[in-house]
Every structure is written in structure tokens, then in C-alpha cells.
Structure 1
């Protein structure tokens, strides 16, 4: 039997009771491991010190943000050129602040940001958005975008374009939809210029894997966007991006959908541009199925034949810049098949220049022979270049003596005496 002394006397505790057993175990533990209780008290002391340090650190960061926030909002109605007490413009102050806060922004995320853009002027909002874009601060950038949507306050056009492009690369379709709604409500010119931001939403959908919806979005917005130069440039750039990535990923299903959209745009708007972009990428591809698709398009659309003929030189130069000589050879064959002699002659001259710079005598000889058979002679300079290469001489164009350091060098042509 265990006994316990109390103020009223001695109290007996039954051995089998829970309280008695717990006290007995505590006595045994204290006798066998006297250091345990001391370690527990020490750990408790360490936890208290850590909590105190954490609270102090959080308070310090909060106070730092409040000081910066208060400084920013001291001049809510300041203009773009307003200077601070130190003589710096507001844009410079924001720029310096954004660079100095790079390490602290990770600890000051929304909803702790607490900045109300209604107190900012247009230049101030532009500078804040550009600062977050510069350091790729997605969290604070999205917070500012939500503020713009909430209070229907949009940045200037150039900054707005940068924000829309960044949102499209991130695949933020919802934010783009909200900004498009704000543009309609405040009658912003972007609502009509970009057809409710169709190019940006299409790229965002494309990055999210919704290729069919992206193509449908571009198709719906194409007729409206092409009415202005800026809208036409942006929506065509979106089409080119999708076309290039489709051919790089070798997606047959997406290529079929893309051709359907291109044909529909040609029928509705009489615009051959999208079809021409699809044709170019398929024609330059190394895959036979893509080349076959390009051949079918070229045979079916007379407008495409005329466009390619007009742009033969830039098209050939583009292929040669990527060292795609095979595409140039096939392009020459296409021009010969459709009796487009002027375009064919232009490609032959460009191909000769390319091979001459590489000092490929055999390729140059074949080009000269083909030009002779086709009655498409090279110019005099190229003939002399071929002879120089054949005779293993230097370039026939040599700088004249006495040019010195003049910026405009004068050249003379070597004279050749033909013996045949």
C-alpha cells in the first residue's frame, strides 16, 4: 500500500489505481534517469528563445514594409516628373526600391502586400508593373493585375502589352479574360484592336495544351484584328508561333486542325497569309508527309503560287540562312514545273553565292551547268568568281591601292583573257 501525506493526515492510495501507478512510475523514472527532467526544461527554454527570435524577425520585416509602403503613398497625386526630397524622380525611386527589395520580396507576399493602386498615378502604376516584370516576381505581379481588374485601372499601352505577353507565356487565361472584360467596360482601344485580347488568350491556351480552343480563338478574332496594323501584326505572330511549334513537335492531329483553320480564313477573309505560313514550314520540313502537304497546298491555291513567286528571293535566303540547301533545290524544281523562270533564276543566283562562299567548286560547277542548260545565265561577277574558284585564285574583287583608312573602299575587277 502507498501512502500520501496531506494537511489533514495520511491518505492511503490503492496500488492498482491509475493515479497511484502513474506516481510510482514517475518516482522510478526520476531515480533511474535524473537528467531527463533537466533536458525537458532545457528544451522548453530553447523553444521559447526560438519563438522570441521568430516573432522579432517577423516584426522587423513587417515594419520594413510599412515604412516603404508609407513612403510610396505619401504623394498619391504625384505626376510622372515629380521629384523627391533627394532630387530623384519618382520613376528612379521606384527603380531603386525594386532592386533593393529583391531579397525582401520573398518575405512580403500578398495578401500582406497591402498596396491599393487607387492611390497611384498612371506612371507610378507603370513603374511598379515594370519592376515586377523585370525581376520576374510572379506573385506580386499577379496581385497588381488583380488590383487593376478590381478597380478597372489599366496601365499605359506599352506596359499593358508587356503585361499581356507575360500573362500569355504563363498560361494565365483567367486573368486575360478578366482584363478583356475590363477593356470592354472602360471602352479601351485594345478591346477592338486585339479582338478581346484574342492573340494573347490563344497563346495562353496553347501553352496549357488546349490547341483546338487556341486555334478557334485565333480564328474568331482574326477578322477583327486584321483591320488594324497592330492587331494584324500581333495575331499573325500568334499564328506563326503555333505553326512553328506544331511542326517542331510533329503533331499530325494539330497540323490537320491548323490547315482547316487556314483554309477557313482564306475563304472568309480572302487572306492567304496563314496558308502561306503553313506551306513554308511544311515545305522546309525533313518529313516527306509534311512536304507532300506543302505540295498539295501549292497545287491547289493559285494565290499561294503567286505569293511564293513574288517572295522567291527572301524565301530562298531564309532557307539558306538555316543551311537548308535541299529545300532550295526543291523550290527551284517547283518554279521550273510552274514555269516561273524569273523566280527560278533568282534562286539559282543566291544558291551560287552560298556555295561560292563555302568554296564548293563542284556545287558551283553544277549550278553553272544548270544555268547554261536552262538559258538562265549568271551575271558577269559570278562568272568571274567561278573562274577564280576554278583556277584556285583569289577573289576577283580586290581593294585598289591607296585606299588607306577611307571608309568607302574602291574595288577593281580582274580582267580575264579567254582562249576559247
Structure 2
């Protein structure tokens, strides 16, 4: 078999035609001999493909750069040119990809970012509300930093929404900065909410600092009682912590809550916090919680009077959650303390609840208990019980017409018990 040879700088090199390199070179020589223009066309084709890829890449980069420039230009437009700036800001930011977040940080620097000093009060309010509505945390926190830096706060209503959102996020640093700003500006919130104590307490609670949260509530409680709004907000914060404590079944935190409630009552003679803890413990399914509720009820005469006055709303609250056991225990408590009016109201509400569910046995037990306790139901409830009894006891009343007729007959008479 013939051997292929090629000249090199060191001499002649022999290549075996059976080797892969020899076959490839042989095919190249044969192609060049038979079709002299083929190799040039392949080179031009390869060059054309590379040019197309380069053009596509350049076009992609240019489009991305152009999109960023347009977006940046939109963000930097004066507010007067766009009345919907607050909404467009969050929308434009939402269109960015994750890869552009570093550029966004640069854009939001104090030298390049939005300066709220150029905004009017309504424009600042609308911008903050827009970020709150769409839960745009990044833009919201940026605006809050601007408010602190330039000591420009939104209107009271928007400010409350901002404080609630910050407390839900557990942002103590921002809350501390806003509290300091309120003190410097002598903003009414500094006194109304006792240095923003309710919001700080919720933020601390969400961060897991339960002891510090309760301490913050305790310290700020007295100052918040000076105004109706302050009293309402501090109570909402306390109730929130109590409800979440019982939901998490944290016995250690419950003991701390009871201690704080006792201290607040002793210092400010406000029974609300004690009643708040009592209600949650009383409604609990756990025996230890119910025992704590019983001890509080026995110890505070004011708590007994408050529960007696609010027996109907309290019972309705339990029934709305279908907590029948709590209603039964509440009736027993009223009987033990000879609170007959409150007991009668609870029995009446419990009868209405069972009647709507067509529970004849439960209604019969209530009627019997009312008779033994000499707390009769009203005339309408007596008629309802008799109607329910006849509907379920007559086997011949199978059609809707017969049942309607029976109801009509029972309502045409007056029954006395």
C-alpha cells in the first residue's frame, strides 16, 4: 500500500494512511483536488456563522442596555411630569430581572436615587401607600430611610399604616429611627403612642424577644392611656400577644403575661389587660389555662363585674367559634357567683344556637335547666321549642306541605310553661 508523505522543517514525515489523521488529511487533499473552491466556501460559511453569532450577541447587549437606560430615565423623571409616579415606580422596579438588582442599589444611592424633598405631602403619601398595597418591601424601606434622613413624615393615617407594616416585619431599627424623628419634630405620635411602644412591642414579639416585648408594653402602657387612640392601640398590641401566646401553647410566656397584667392593673387600675388574659385562658381547651382563668376570676372583683356586664357579647363570641364547652363553663361560673341575669342571657343565646341547628335534645335540656333554675325562656322560644318537638316527633309529617301546616297550627296558639 502506498504511503503518504509530507514535508516538514526537519525533513520528510511519513503518515500511515490507515491512521485517523492520515485518513483526514487524505480526504482533505482529495476534496481540494476534485473541488478546488469547496474549502474556501467552508471557510466563508464558518466566518458567516461567527459573524451572525456576534451580531446576535451585540444586538442582545444593546437591547438590554437600551432597556436599562429607558428604565433609569423613567425613574429619574421629575414627579411633576408624571402624576402616577408612585404607582409607576413600583411597577417599573417589578419589571427588572434579578441580575439588575446591583444596578438598582446604585440607582437608589443618595446621589442618584429619589429625593423625597422634591415631593409634596400628598405625593409622598401616595407613594408610600402604593408600596404598601403591593407589599414592595424594598421600595418601602428605601422611602422610610428617606423620611428619617430628611425628617419628612407622611400624614397620620399613612404613618399608622407604615408603623403597622414595620412592626409586622419586625423592623426595630426603622421603628427606633422613626421614634427619634418624632421626638425631634415634636410629632404628636411621640406622646400618643408613648414613643411608638405598641409597634415596637409587636416587632419585638415577631422577632422572638417575648420578654423585651412585654417589658416595652408595660413601660409604654401608662403613657398610652392619656388618649383614646393611644389606649386602643396599646390594648390591641397586648391582645395580639395574648392570643398568639395561647395559640403557641407557651406556658412560660403565659406566666409572664399574667404577671405583667397584674402589674398594669396595680399601677393603673385598668382591668382590661387582666380580662384579656382571662378570656383567652378561659376559652382554651387546656386544663392549666382554664385553671389560671379561674384563679384570676376569683381574685379580681372588677373582673367579675366586667364579665357580668359583657355576658351576652362574650357568650356570642364563644358560640361564633362553636365553643359550646366554654359556654357551659361560663354558665356554671355565673351560677357559682349568683349572677342570674348573666346566666339567663347565656341560656337564651345557647337555646337560639341549638334551635338553628334543629338539635331537639340540646334544646330540651336547656328548657329543663331554665325551668329548674326558674329562668324561663321567652314566649317566642317556647313556641320554637314546641314547633321543633312536633316536627321531629310526628312520623306522618313527611311532606313539606304537612310540615308547613303543622308549623302554622302551632303558631296559631299560645303556650305557657
Q: Residues of 2 paired with 1:131 and 1:316: CA distance?
A: 41
Does the CA-based 8 Å contact 2:348-2:377 persist in structure 1? yes
Q: State the match for 1:301 in structure 2.
A: 300
Does the CA-based 8 Å contact 2:172-2:200 persist in structure 1? yes
Query: Could you state the TM-score of these two structures normalised by the residue count of structure 1?
Result: 0.78
Q: Residues of 1 paired with 2:134 and 2:176: CA distance?
A: 25
Gaps spanning 5+ residues in structure 1: where? 6-29, 76-83, 85-89, 395-410
Does the CA-based 8 Å contact 2:379-2:416 persist in structure 1? no
Gaps spanning 5+ residues in structure 2: where? 1-8, 10-20, 26-42, 394-407
Does the CA-based 8 Å contact 2:382-2:415 persist in structure 1? no
User: Relative to total residues, which structure has the larger helix share, 1 or 2?
Assistant: 2
Question: 1:234-257: per-residue Cα shift (whole Å, max 9, x none)?
Answer: 111111111111000000010000
Task: Say yes or no: does 1:315 pair with 2:342.
Answer: no
- Alpha-carbon shift at residue 66 of structure 1 (Å): 3.5
State the number of aligned residues: 359
Counting only pairs closer than 5 Å after superposition, residues 135-214 of structure 1 correspond to structure 2 as 135-214=134-213
Counting only pairs closer than 5 Å after superposition, residues 88-127 of structure 1 correspond to structure 2 as 90=83, 92=84, 94-95=86-87, 98-99=90-91, 102-104=94-96, 107=100, 109-113=104-108, 114-127=113-126
Q: Residues of 1 paired with 2:221 and 2:416: CA distance?
A: 63
- Alpha-carbon shift at residue 158 of structure 1 (Å): 1.1
Q: Residues of 2 paired with 1:255 and 1:63: CA distance?
A: 56
Q: State the match for 1:339 in structure 2.
A: 338
Q: Residues of 1 paired with 2:240 and 2:78: CA distance?
A: 40
Query: Could you state the TM-score of these two structures normalised by the residue count of structure 2?
Result: 0.78
Q: Residues of 2 paired with 1:32 and 1:299: CA distance?
A: 104
Q: State the match for 2:29 in structure 1.
A: none
Q: State the match for 1:400 in structure 2.
A: none
- Alpha-carbon shift at residue 31 of structure 1 (Å): 11
What's the C-alpha RMSD, in Å, of the aligned pairs? 3.2
Q: State the match for 1:219 in structure 2.
A: 218
Return the index of the structure with the highest Cα Rg. 2
Distance change in 2, residues 1:175/1:375 (3 Å)? same
- Alpha-carbon shift at residue 59 of structure 1 (Å): 2.9
Does the CA-based 8 Å contact 1:102-1:135 persist in structure 2? no
Paired residue secondary structure (2:327): helix
- Alpha-carbon shift at residue 100 of structure 1 (Å): 5.7
Question: 1:81-105: per-residue Cα shift (whole Å, max 9, x none)?
Answer: xxx7xxxxx2x45435644653248
